[in-house]
Amino acid sequence: DAKTTQPTSMDCAEGRAANLPCNHSTISGNEYVYWYRQIHSQGPQYIIHGLKNNETNEMASLIITEDRKSSTLILPHATLRDTAVYYCIVRASTDSWGKLQFGAGTQVVVTP
Amino acid sequence: GAVVSQHPSWVICKSGTSVKIECRSLDFQATTMFWYRQFPKQSLMLMATSNEGSKATYEQGVEKDKFLINHASLTLSTLTVTSAHPEDSSFYICSAPDGGTGNQPQHFGDGTRLSIL
């Protein structure tokens, strides 16, 4: 699976949009982009995923560049409960039924 | 939505004890489940893939005789840490994909914090 690069940390103001970048320049055509987050001492939580079109759900929006080499997760109105480590992962749908390899992620701290 | 339950959430035991951790898919069937380990301030590390009705597949460097995995039903996988020692103290997390297509997301349990004295 392609590797991803994320900033180590980000601070966001409560109520503002949080834009989390992810670089995946070696992504293959059949690889999806997944975002998960992990709140301290809990298991990871699925946020959103996409292949090439932008996606939106009740939690966030995922913007994937046309060349698919990078993406941005957008939390539209960050709250204190969004403080977590956010992981961007790319994986092919044909790869081992969901096997995920986690990188270091981005530590997001939402401040009042 | 799909839920994965892990039990126990916290266990403390003496060195040399074997500890069993359960991972259940509550409202869906999972022919495959995954086990991860996470040390403090580090990311999740995939340990093994648990396959219903067959042997688990271990990642490189993970001792299969140390970490016994059993996936006896479509909703339950267990991880047994045998003869645990302090260096096995960690946060163990399981996950399972929900759905019949390969791009469906994983659902994670809330983890088991293992402390070996």
Q: What digits encode the pLDDT tens for the residues A50-106?
A: 999 999 999 999 999 999 999 999 999 999 999 999 999 998 766 656 678 899 999
How close A87 comes to chain B (CA, Å)? 9
Q: Report how far Cα A27 is from the mean position of its chain's Cα atoms.
A: 15
Quick one: which of B9, B57, B81, B110 has its CA closest to A98?
Answer: B57
Best interface-test mutation with B: which of A27, A97, A100, A101 has the largest number of B CBs within 10 A? A97
Omega of the bond leading into B8 within 30 degrees of 0 (cis): yes
Q: What is the pLDDT of chain B when averaged over all its residues?
A: 92
How close A93 comes to chain B (CA, Å)? 4
Quick one: which of B56, B63, B60 has its CA closest to B94?
Answer: B56
Q: Do A46 and B104 touch (CB under 8 A)?
A: no
Q: Do A43 and B104 touch (CB under 8 A)?
A: no
The pLDDT assigned to B104 comes to 78
How close A4 comes to chain B (CA, Å)? 14
The pLDDT assigned to A2 comes to 64
Chain B residues touching residue A101 (CB < 8 angstroms): 46
Q: Using the predicted structure, report yes or no on whether residue B100 has a pLDDT greater than 70.
A: no
CB under 8 Å to B27, separation ≥6 — which residues? B2, B3
Q: Do B106 and A49 touch (CB under 8 A)?
A: no
Q: Using the predicted structure, report yes or no on whether residue B49 has a pLDDT greater than 80.
A: yes
CB A87 within 8 A of CB A38: yes
CB count within 10 Å of CB B45 equals 17
Q: Do B97 and A104 touch (CB under 8 A)?
A: no
Sheet holding A18-23, edge to edge: A18-23, A70-75, A61-64, A55-56
How close B27 comes to chain A (CA, Å)? 17
Q: Which residue, chain included where needed, has tokens 């349990």? A: B109
Q: Do A98 and B104 touch (CB under 8 A)?
A: yes
The pLDDT assigned to B116 comes to 96
Mean pLDDT to the nearest integer, B22-34? 92
